[in-house]
Chains A and B, each alone.
Chain A
Amino acid sequence: EAGVAQSPRYKIIEKRQSVAFWCNPISGHATLYWYQQILGQGPKLLIQFQNNGVVDDSQLPKDRFSAERLKGVDSTLKIQPAKLEDSAVYLCASRRTRRDRGGSTEAFFGQGTRLTVV
Chain B
Amino acid sequence: KNQVEQSPQSLIILEGKNCTLQCNYTVSPFSNLRWYKQDTGRGPVSLTIMTFSENTKSNGRYTATLDADTKQSSLHITASQLSDSASYICVVSVYGQNFVFGPGTRLSVLP
Measured between beta carbons, the chain A residues less than 8 angstroms from B104 are 40-42
Question: What is the chain A residue whose CB lies nearest that of B94?
Answer: A100
Binary per-residue interface labels of chain B (73-111) against chain A in the complex, 1 for a CB within 8 Å, 0 otherwise: 000000000000000010001011111011110100000
Give which listed residue, B42, B51, B102, B103, contacts A104 with CB less than 8 A.
Answer: B51
Binary per-residue interface labels of chain A (98-115) against chain B in the complex, 1 for a CB within 8 Å, 0 otherwise: 011111101111111010
Q: Does B45 contact A (CB under 8 A)?
A: yes
Chain A: residues with Cβ within 8 Å of the partner, total of 26
| CB-based contact B98/A45 at 8 Å | yes
Q: Does A14 contact B (CB under 8 A)?
A: no
Q: Does B43 contact A (CB under 8 A)?
A: yes
Chain A residues at the B interface, C-beta cutoff of 8 Å: 4, 33, 40-45, 48, 56, 91, 93, 99-104, 106-112, 114
Q: A42-B4, A48-B98, A101-B95 are in contact. List 18 more A-B contacts (CB 8 A).
A: A41-B103, A41-B104, A42-B104, A43-B44, A91-B44, A93-B43, A100-B93, A101-B31, A102-B31, A102-B51, A103-B32, A106-B46, A107-B46, A109-B43, A111-B42, A111-B43, A112-B41, A112-B42
